[in-house]
Amino acid sequence: MSALVVDDDKVVRRMHGKLLTQLGFETNAVENGQEAVDLFTSGESYDFVFMDMEMPIMDGTEATQKLREMGVKSTIVGVTSCNQEAEKQAFVEAGLYACLEKPLTRDAISSLLEQVAKK
């Protein structure tokens, strides 16, 4: 499985990338939503995209909407420090599969993979 980590914080990118690699993902990381859109535009593809929701240049909501408009079928997961259910629901309505709180944990990823496998 492959995963793209999209986050403007270098430490978070490194930490999430390391966790995903430990869980068997091949990972890549970029700093903002525009870079994620550019990767897909250039022909790259990933099974999962772990998308920070608040970033400069292009935030996670806008990037997710653009990716969906492009026909990207990857499982896009919002990653946020927000724990407001209404905000998380808005992210899901924008085209995200789910929304997880930062920092990602092994348990959260395992649970997500189980949910995806059932669909």
Each residue of 74-98: pLDDT tens digit? 999 999 876 677 776 777 778 888 8
Taking a C-beta distance cutoff of 8 angstroms, is the pair 67, 37 a contact?
yes
Phi, psi of 42 (to 5 degrees): -80, 0
Which pLDDT belongs to residue 83? 66
Where the chain has pLDDT below 50, the residues are: none
* Domains of the chain as residue ranges with CATH: 2-118 (3.40.50.2300)
- Cis peptide bond upstream of 103, omega within 30: yes
- pTM score: 0.92
Which pLDDT belongs to residue 25? 96
Which pLDDT belongs to residue 12? 95
